[in-house]
């Protein structure tokens, strides 16, 4: 749905739409929150207003995030009304989202001044005014994520989370939390031209690609360029169309390629890989080293290469007699070799269980930062002892033979 009034500024909010928003904020029951997000000089500015209870008195809380800095102010209704009027009077490309019991209203003003409006269905009941000390529980709640979730099919057209996508929603939130642990504050990051360049290997339907972009830009105040890589042409065509529809294709792009053949226009700072199958995880880790990435966030998937190499005799004969135990043992061993090779190459590595097993059985996450001198003696010794004990050749060792040969005989 589009509105246009030739008497207004090209990027101003149409008068009838502004009047509707103001009325739904203060003259109708069920107002929950109003959020506006825009960029100024490459920096993110986000302002929101919502009703709160303070000492049993209804007030309004305004929250402003300017280039990663947050300030909060509590207001009376007349002050809040004036604040909303100022928000609605602003011009320029931006997004505005209104949440009420009557239903969600999302407005996006494009760079060309085209106002795009979408509406969600009404809530089943009016939501009570929330106490002012409410704590945000999920990273996806830290910014207006609903338009993205709808575009990705995680939420339906009414803005409700699809039951079948709850596991994916949980995975995204937990991965964003891990990203918080890995990355410094935007103002402290040492980045070329002030831009965080990210590559998502085996991006698939790009749930993580889009979520990481929006979260880092809108909630963390980063400037981000992100590239997704996948070899499936149909998937790449679809995610490119989503990026166009969300009007972020200048920052979020996709390459149709296998991981080893992909050529990037810039050196990435962060490499991500979520559930790349079998040795594709190793290829992603190898590219992280070859591209000289500082950060790695990688969740391995199915792993078969090492299972074929493990000798079924010796003291582990009882373990390897059972297929499921052999498989899980090989999984652990494979990820251990991966972490040791990263340590040898100069990464500090942490292995965590990033989400509950009910969300996905593949819930191991490798989190790494290039931070120490490569070739640490202890890391090399531990790797060789483990490799030689099981008499195996991990795929990642073969893939990075040229980089590892200086540290031990291959």
pLDDT over 50 (residue 200): yes
pLDDT at 9: 56
221 closest CA partner among 346, 390, 39, 90: 39
pLDDT over 90 (residue 188): no
Tens digit of each residue's pLDDT (9 = 90 or more) over 311-323 = 767 788 888 888 8
pLDDT over 60 (residue 121): no
pLDDT over 60 (residue 135): no
pLDDT over 90 (residue 207): yes
* pLDDT-derived band at 297, boundaries 50, 70, 90: very high
- β pairing state of 270-276 and 130-131: unpaired
- Distance CA(202)–CA(300), nearest Å, equals 11
User: Which runs of consecutive H residues, i.e. helices, occur in 6-138?
Assistant: 15-26, 77-89
- Distance CA(345)–CA(399), nearest Å, equals 13
Q: For residues 198-212, give the mean pLDDT.
A: 95
209 closest CA partner among 175, 185, 165: 175
SS3 content of the chain, % helix, strand, coil (to 5): 35, 25, 40
Domains of the chain: 15-135 (no CATH), 164-404 (3.40.50.150)
Task: Bin 168: left if φ > 0, else alpha if -120 < ψ < 50, else beta.
Answer: alpha
Exposure string over 267-299, b if 16+ CB within 10 A, otherwise e: ebbbbbbbbbebbbbbbbbbbbbebebbbbbbb
Token duo for residue 128: 């009570």
Tens digit of each residue's pLDDT (9 = 90 or more) over 322-378 = 888 888 888 899 999 999 999 999 999 999 886 655 545 567 889 999 989 999 999
This prediction has a pTM of 0.68
pLDDT over 80 (residue 161): yes
Q: Supply the DSSP symbol for 162.
A: P
Q: What are phi and psi of 99, to 5 degrees?
A: -115, 120
pLDDT over 80 (residue 56): no
Higher pLDDT, 11 or 35: 35
Beta bridge partners of 49: 34, 62
- Distance CA(49)–CA(78), nearest Å, equals 13
Question: In the chain, how long is the greatest CA-to-CA distance?
Answer: 84
User: Which runs of consecutive H residues, i.e. helices, occur in 258-314?
Assistant: 280-290
| 270 contacts: CB under 8 Å, gap ≥ 6 | 182, 183, 196, 197, 198, 199, 293, 294, 295, 296, 297
- Can you give the length of the chain in residues? 410
Tens digit of each residue's pLDDT (9 = 90 or more) over 275-292 = 666 678 999 999 999 999
Q: What is the dihedral of CA 233, 234, 236, 237, to 10 degrees?
A: 110
| 362 contacts: CB under 8 Å, gap ≥ 6 | 275, 299, 300, 301, 302
């Amino acid at each position: 749905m589009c509105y246009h009034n030739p008497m207004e500024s090209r990027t101003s909010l149409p008068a009838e739409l502004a009047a509707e928003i103001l009325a739904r904020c203060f003259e109708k029951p069920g107002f929950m929150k109003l959020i506006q997000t825009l960029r100024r000089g490459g920096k993110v500015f986000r302002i929101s207003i919502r009703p709160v209870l303070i000492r049993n008195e209804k007030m309004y809380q305004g929250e402003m995030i300017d280039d990663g800095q947050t300030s909060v102010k509590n207001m009376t209704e007349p002050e809040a009304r004036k604040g909303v009027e100022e928000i609605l009077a602003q011009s320029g490309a931006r997004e505005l989202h209104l949440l009420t019991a009557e239903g969600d209203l999302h407005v996006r003003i494009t760079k060309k001044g085209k106002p795009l409006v979408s509406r969600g269905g009404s809530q089943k009941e009016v939501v009570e005014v929330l106490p002012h000390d409410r704590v945000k529980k999920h990273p996806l709640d830290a910014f207006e994520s609903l338009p993205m979730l709808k575009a990705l099919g995680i939420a339906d057209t009414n803005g409700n989370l699809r039951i079948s996508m709850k596991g994916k929603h949980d995975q995204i939130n937990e991965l964003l939390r891990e990203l918080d642990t890995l990355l410094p504050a935007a103002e402290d990051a040492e980045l070329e031209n002030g831009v965080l360049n990210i590559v998502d290997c085996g991006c698939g339907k790009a749930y993580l690609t889009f979520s990481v972009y929006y979260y880092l830009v809108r909630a963390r105040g980063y400037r981000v360029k992100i590239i997704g890589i996948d070899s499936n042409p149909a998937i790449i065509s679809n995610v490119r169309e989503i990026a166009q529809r969300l009007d972020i294709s200048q920052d979020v792009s996709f390459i149709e390629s296998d991981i080893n053949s992909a050529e990037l226009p810039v050196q990435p700072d962060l490499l991500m890989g979520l559930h790349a199958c079998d040795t594709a995880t190793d290829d992603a880790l190898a590219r992280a080293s070859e591209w000289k990435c500082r950060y790695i966030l990688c969740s391995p998937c199915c792993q078969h290469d090492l299972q074929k190499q493990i000798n079924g005799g010796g003291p582990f004969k009882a373990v390897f007699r059972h297929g499921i135990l052999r498989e899980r043992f090989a999984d652990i061993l494979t990820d251990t070799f991966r972490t040791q090779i990263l340590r040898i190459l100069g990464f500090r590595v942490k292995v965590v269980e990033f989400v509950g097993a009910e969300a996905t059985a593949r819930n191991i996450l490798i989190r790494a930062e290039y931070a120490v001198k490569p070739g640490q003696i202890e890391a090399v010794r531990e790797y060789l002892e483990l490799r030689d004990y099981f008499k195996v050749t991990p795929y990642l060792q073969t893939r990075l033979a040229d980089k590892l040969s200086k540290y031990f005989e291959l």
